[in-house]
Every structure is written in C-alpha cells, then in structure tokens.
C-alpha cells in the first residue's frame, strides 16, 4: 500500500508546533533528521518522547499519511490546525510501503557485540563465526552465543547505532561476569526490544520493556515471540509500568530525558544493581554524571564515535 510523505524544513524551535499540527491532522508517523546531514550514517530520531529534543538546530521533518490523502486538502487542514505556521515549503511524494518500513533491511548485516552477542536479521543466515561459537559451546550456557533474530519494523533499535552498540557491549560484559544469570532486566525506552532480548538470550530470567510509543511495544512483543522468549518478556507504556526494582536497568534514550527521569530510573535499580545510560552525545556527559552521582557509585564513561554510555552501581 502506498503512502503520502510530507517533508518540511524547520528549526528546532519550530519543531514541536509543526509536529503537533501534523499529529492533529492524522500523521501516521513523524521523523526528524538533520537538515545539513550529508554523511551516509546520518540517523533519524523516530517519534521522540515527551521532553526529548531533536539534536540539530535545523531539521527536516517528515510525516507519513494514508496514500489516498489529498495533499491540497491536507495543507488546508494543517493551516487551520496552527495558523501561525508556514507550510509553503512542504513537499510531497508517494512512497511504497517497503520504501520506509522495509528497504533498510536489505542493507542490514549480522552484527557482533562483545564476546557472545549477535544481532542477525530475521531472514539472514547465521554468520560462520557465530555458528562456530554455537558448535563449540555445546551444552555450556555460559559459552553459548546470544543470537537475537531481529525484525524491528518501525521501532528504533537495530544495533547499527553507536548508542545501541554501547548498551549491547555492556550487557555482554555483565553476562560474562555472571551478573545477568537469572536476573530481571528493565529496558527503559525499549524501541524494538533489542536490549531486552539480548539480555534474555545472555541469561536473564525475565525482562520488562517500557516505551511511550505503542508501536515500539508491538515490535518488542513480536520480536520476543519470534526469538522464543515471549513468555519472559513484558511490555508497558510508562503510565502502566508496575512499580518494581531490578538488578539490571538499561536506558537508551536522549540525555535530556535521562536527566529528567533521574529519580524514576534510580528508583528502578535495586541497591547494588547496575545501570547503563546511553543516547548521550559527547559533551553532554558531565550534566548526566552530575544528575546520577547522587544515586550511583562507580560511574564510568565509555565513548563510541560521538556517543557516550554511562554505567554505575546503585548506592545501598
């Protein structure tokens, strides 16, 4: 089924108003990208959560609508939704379903993190190295590779972004230390569920995924079922999340959200438990460290490209 795509340049300050107007008239999805990005690894932010901000001053905002939407009538509706916005630079094109939901999977290759963690496209063959690890492990669960078969659909989280890679490496390290064995894990901002699924494959007993996007919860649930860990995976919107503490918590969201949620996330980590915080741009780590120092010891910073992961241990 084709879709109608609207693209519009805007500034960071204008973005919330444009996004609200698009959602008010029925946009199926809204994404943001750097207006000046020309690098091949430029990343979009998918449907930022409440309180999260885009990473760039000048943006290209893209929204999808049902394919039979009339673009002229849509512009009238948008103008009526917020009369103070300028829609004259909006452009439209028709896109096929696979253009925005599936085409990227054609370029998605198996990825290896740490010692045992593999993220493999659902329909791809297992890499030779992963198969060798599997054969060598035999019945030894501590050596068995953690193979996550992923079909993230529209939800953010495929392992290709440095923020996700940093978290996967951290989880793999915890597993090698035995800290994941039979543990309960909270993946706050779960997206596709990739981190929770990796934790389960690495030995965790149960995982909980929390996200403010219902689409992400659907993707996480579906991916858990496909990986054979559905009964051990629960997903919630933030307002529905049961109050609980966990020995392992990972939150791969933006720095501004991590700071705003410091009390919430700290309360989720059991005394002596471990936390990993990612989605932090280089240069933002000091503010995040200052916020979490009141609750966590042994705070450590790891960097991959322009992104930062902070990990720590909950103070008793």
Above 90 in pLDDT, residue 238? yes
Give residue 215's pLDDT: 81
Specify whether the CB–CB gap between 248 and 204 falls below 8 A: yes
**Residue 233 token pair:** 């995976």
According to the annotation, is 176 in a ligand binding site? no
Give residue 292's pLDDT: 98
Give residue 189's pLDDT: 93
According to the annotation, is 189 in a ligand binding site? yes
Model confidence pLDDT, tens digit, residues 132-172? 999 998 888 889 999 999 864 444 456 667 889 999 999 99
Domain spans of the chain? 3-101, 157-314
- Say how far residue 49 (Cα) sits from the centre of its chain: 11
Give residue 98's pLDDT: 55
Above 70 in pLDDT, residue 103? no
According to the annotation, is 212 in a ligand binding site? no
Give residue 22's pLDDT: 93
Q: DSSP strand E in 153-268: where?
A: 184-188, 206-210, 233-236, 246-252
189: helix, strand or coil: coil
Q: In this structure, are strands 269-281 and 307-314 parallel, antiparallel, or unpaired? A: antiparallel
According to the annotation, is 163 in a ligand binding site? no
**Residue 162 token pair:** 């440095």
- Say how far residue 181 (Cα) sits from the centre of its chain: 24
pLDDT band at 99 (very low <50, low <70, confident <90, very high): very low
Q: What is the CA radius of gyration of the chain?
A: 20
Give residue 155's pLDDT: 42
Model confidence pLDDT, tens digit, residues 14-48? 888 998 899 889 988 888 776 554 433 333 333 34
Give residue 47's pLDDT: 37
Give residue 154's pLDDT: 41
Above 80 in pLDDT, residue 116? yes
pLDDT band at 97 (very low <50, low <70, confident <90, very high): low
Q: What is the mean pLDDT of the chain?
A: 86
Of the options 3.30.70, 3.80.10, 3.10.580, 3.30.1370, the CATH number for the domain spanning 3-101 = 3.30.70
pTM across the whole model: 0.70
Quickly name the fold that domain 157-314 has: Rossmann fold (3.40.50)
pLDDT band at 57 (very low <50, low <70, confident <90, very high): low
């Amino acid at each position: 089924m084709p879709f109608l795509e609207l693209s519009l340049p805007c500034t960071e300050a204008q973005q919330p108003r444009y996004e609200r107007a698009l959602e008010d008239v029925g946009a199926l999805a809204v994404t943001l990208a750097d207006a000046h990005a020309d690098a091949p690894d430029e990343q979009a932010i998918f449907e930022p959560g409440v309180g999260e901000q885009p990473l760039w001053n000048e943006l290209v905002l893209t929204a999808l609508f049902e394919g039979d939407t009339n673009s002229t009538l849509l512009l009238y509706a948008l103008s009526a939704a917020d009369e103070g916005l300028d829609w004259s630079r909006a452009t439209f094109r028709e896109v096929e379903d696979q253009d925005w939901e599936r085409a990227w999977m054609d370029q998605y290759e198996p990825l290896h993190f740490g010692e045992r963690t593999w993220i493999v496209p659902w329909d791809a063959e297992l890499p030779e190295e992963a198969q060798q690890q599997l054969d060598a492990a035999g019945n030894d669960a501590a050596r068995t590779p953690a193979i996550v078969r992923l079909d993230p659909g529209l939800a953010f989280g495929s392992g290709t972004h440095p923020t996700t890679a940093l978290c996967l490496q951290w989880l793999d390290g915890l597993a090698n230390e035995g800290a994941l064995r039979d543990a309960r894990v909270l993946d706050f901002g779960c997206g596709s569920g990739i981190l929770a699924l990796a934790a389960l494959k690495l030995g965790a007993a149960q995982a909980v995924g929390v996200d403010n996007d219902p689409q992400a919860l659907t993707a996480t649930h579906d991916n858990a079922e496909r990986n054979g860990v559905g009964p051990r995976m629960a997903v919630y919107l933030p307002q529905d999340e049961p109050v609980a503490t966990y020995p392992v918590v990972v939150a791969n969201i933006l720095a501004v959200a991590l700071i705003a949620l410091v009390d919430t996330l700290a309360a989720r980590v059991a005394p002596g438990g471990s936390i990993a915080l990612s989605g932090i741009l280089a240069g933002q780590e000091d503010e995040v460290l200052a916020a979490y120092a009141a609750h966590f010891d042994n705070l450590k910073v790891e960097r991959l490209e322009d992104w930062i992961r902070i990990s720590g241990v909950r103070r008793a």
